[in-house]
Amino acid sequence: MLEKDTPRGEVAVLSSTQKALKKPGTVKVARGMSLFGEHSAGWFALGLLGAAVDRDRRKDWLVASAGVVGAHAASIAVKRVVRRRRPEHPSVEVLVGTPSKLSFPSSHATSTTAAAVLYSGLTGRNLVPALVPPMLASRLLLGVHYPTDVLAGAALGGVVGGLIRRKLTTKR
């Protein structure tokens, strides 16, 4: 991204987030979260584990797992339409590799939010506050997304997860 095209306010938030959170331990955890969330694989695996353990609701867990992957796919489709480049600014350090140069929306934020919404419905616990904010913050800490990328990803994941969750609860 050319410096003249850089959204200044977002770069300032991104840079200040990195300065506040960048410590060896937090970077290590953020990189682990990045690996776990890559292509929604970790969330999908947890859904499959839920299906294996909760035999009475196996089909629901499988539908929820597919929903997480579907939310991820939706984020990739939006990325290819929007084509926003990842942060590239002297005040932002990129601390992890990415599979593409496109950033909007954050696929990690999308799949994490979808998983939190869907798996909350299946576990009876609200997982959103425990899972979503750390993943969103990790994407900023790692320097691979602007704040609006993670917010848009969370919104997309919430919508997809919410629609599928509604279908799961209305069929009972």
Q: What's the domain range around 121?
A: 3-170
Total number of domains in the chain: 1
Q: Looking at residues 147-168, what average pLDDT do you find?
A: 95
The CA-atom distances, in angstroms, between 130 and each of 79, 127, 136, 143, 164 are 26, 5, 11, 21, 21
Paired tokens of 75: 């984020």
Q: Looking at residues 152-166, what average pLDDT do you find?
A: 96
- pLDDT for residue 76: 96
The CATH number given to whatever domain includes residue 22 is 1.10.606.20
Phi, psi of 85 (to 5 degrees): -80, 150
136, containing H or E segment: helix 128-141
Phi, psi of 102 (to 5 degrees): -95, 140
- pLDDT tens-place string over residues 73-121: 999 999 999 999 999 888 899 999 998 999 999 999 999 999 999 999 9
Q: How far apart are CA 142 and CA 160, in angstroms?
A: 25
